Amino acid sequence: MPASKRPAIAAESRVDFVDLAQHCAPQITVETLAAVVSLESDFQSLAIRINSDHRLPEEEPKSRFEAIETASMLAATGFDIDLGLGGVSSKDLVRLGMSIADSFDPCSNLEATAALLVEHYRKAIRQGATGKNAETLMLRAYYGRGDALIGKLVGYERQLAAERARLRFMLGNIAIDAPTHMNKSGSDDREKAAPADVADEKAIGQAPAASSRPWDVFSSGRGSSVLVFSD
């Protein structure tokens, strides 16, 4: 749907994180995704992190409009910034087919976060890693924006493991601000009439069919669990 025809998206409602994660990023376990989001944004959908000693101008954004305005200004000025729930890098937006505004949409941000994790996982597999080793490389590379060594240096996978343990019995109580076009179950009301884009789980490891979502690397849509990372 063209952006001009989309309904207002001011964050005025709350949605359960578990529902949102299962709906928008089903290829990653909720526990792993929650740990990433907790470390990257503390579950703040309007989070903006500047990767330098520079601080956000004035106060942190209080609305999606303010977040978009602030992030756009910072990006235009040349700052390296991480955006939204998963701390998606502004430098990754173009290749993911996203705008700065999209990064502050909780569902779009989780889709992008999952896509980056899967991308790093597939790279680790291509390089010969398997099982837990592949997942560890995936997590390290997510922190290092493709460079697993950077993630290793800060012990990112250990930080995530600790966060997973801390959040284990809290996930059901976590809710985040959500756009008004998203209902309480985490579903997007704009897509109710759209046909489902569901991949066959038997296709794991095979080349995915073309997807209308640039970040949906397994063409999983929002209704199937194609790749799951777990303990």
Asked whether residue 1 is assigned to any structural domain, the reply reads: no
Asked whether residue 202 is assigned to any structural domain, the reply reads: no
Asked whether residue 201 is assigned to any structural domain, the reply reads: no
Asked whether residue 3 is assigned to any structural domain, the reply reads: no
Angstrom distance (rounded) from CA 139 to CA 133: 10
Q: What is the pLDDT of residues 66-80, one digit of tens each?
A: 999 999 999 999 999
Share of the chain above pLDDT 70, in %: 69
How high does pLDDT run on average in the chain?
Answer: 77
Query: If you search the block for the tokens 């597999």, which residue do you land on?
Result: 125
Asked whether residue 47 is assigned to any structural domain, the reply reads: yes
The pLDDT, as a whole number, for residue 58 is 63
- How many domains would you assign to the chain? 1
Measuring CA to CA, which residue among 48, 86, 97 is closest to residue 213?
97
Asked whether residue 61 is assigned to any structural domain, the reply reads: yes
Measuring CA to CA, which residue among 142, 88, 96 is closest to residue 120?
142
Provide the domain limits for residue 16.
Answer: 9-189
The pLDDT, as a whole number, for residue 57 is 60
Question: Which CATH number belongs to the domain containing residue 95 in this structure?
Answer: 1.10.530
Asked whether residue 213 is assigned to any structural domain, the reply reads: no
**If you write DSSP's letter for every residue of 164-195 in order, what string do you get?**
HHHHTTTGGG-EEEEETTB-TTS-BGGGTTSP
Q: What is the pLDDT of residues 166-197, one digit of tens each?
A: 999 999 999 998 754 444 444 444 443 222 22
Asked whether residue 2 is assigned to any structural domain, the reply reads: no
**Position 122 confidence tier, pLDDT thresholds 50, 70, 90:** very high
Residue 164 has pLDDT above 80, yes or no: yes
